Chains A and B, each alone.
Chain A
Amino acid sequence: NAGVTQTPKFQVLKTGQSMTLQCAQDMNHNSMYWYRQDPGMGLRLIYYSASEGTTDKGEVPNGYNVSRLNKREFSLRLESAAPSQTSVYFCASSESGTSRETQYFGPGTRLLVL
């Protein structure tokens, strides 16, 4: 099992460009999450999908959109990138939507917006 995979691993964008971060899990989990990690800020939830077909905003959703393509895949889109979106992005999944479940994280995507 690969667990949670993310592509790309690194990306450099210019302000105003768009891109989609891809995430897939092979653990048959129902819930998936997108976080951003910034120095001194910990992890902040951008969007999550408690189950296939549903998505909800997290703490910092502005400037992002998500798509739960199927049970395995959950993508994050930046429509018009800004320097403030320079960050490390992590995708995670858990078996169900309850908060007692362990979340399993991908290796991250490092994004630099110039």
Chain B
Amino acid sequence: AQSVTQLDSQVPVFEEAPVELRCNYSSSVSVYLFWYVQYPNQGLQLLLKYLSGSTLVKGINGFEAEFNKSQTSFHLRKPSVHISDTAEYFCAVSSPGDDKIIFGKGTRLHILP
């Protein structure tokens, strides 16, 4: 069975500093990987996704993630965060042939002034 682990429940970071949010997955087959963001009191929206091809995926708002098959990871990075990045970030996994995706428990990103 597939699973996804977000290693940090909360990450504090100073404004304009870089950030990495960690995500590891467990799957014995090919995977699709996603990062979704949830701003306060809103629904989720897609940041980026990996389906195949280049392992470096660029998303909206300056975020990017790298698929690392050997380490079964899909960490999310941003070189310089802004106060507007305050949100909860969810990593998710699925596989070809599945009709649903599995979400991680989320990482709250706190931006410190």
Contact = CB atoms under 8 A, between A and B. Distances in A.
Interface stretch (B67-75, B78-86, B94-102): B94-102
Given A40-B9, A99-B32, A106-B43, A45 B96 contact: no
A98 B106 CA distance: 23
Contact of A99 (B41, B44, B100): B100
B45 interface: yes
A82 B98 CA distance: 31
B111 interface: no
Interface in A29-66: 31, 33, 35, 40-45, 48, 50, 56, 58
A98 to B, nearest CB: 7
24 contacts: A31-B99, A33-B100, A35-B103, A40-B9, A42-B90, A42-B103, A43-B103, A58-B100, A90-B43, A90-B44, A92-B43, A98-B98, A98-B99, A99-B32, A99-B94, A99-B97, A99-B99, A99-B100, A100-B49, A100-B96, A103-B46, A107-B43, A108-B41, A108-B42
Contacts of A74: none
A105 B44 contact: yes
Contacts of B46: 102-103
A76 interface: no
A44 B100 CA distance: 11
Given A40-B105, A100-B32, A108 B99 contact: no
A41 B42 contact: no
A106 B45 CA distance: 9
Contacts of A48: 99-100
B27 to A, nearest CB: 12
B44 to A, nearest CB: 5
B45 A99 contact: no
Given A105-B44, A105-B45, A108-B43, A42 B94 contact: no
Nearest to B98: A99
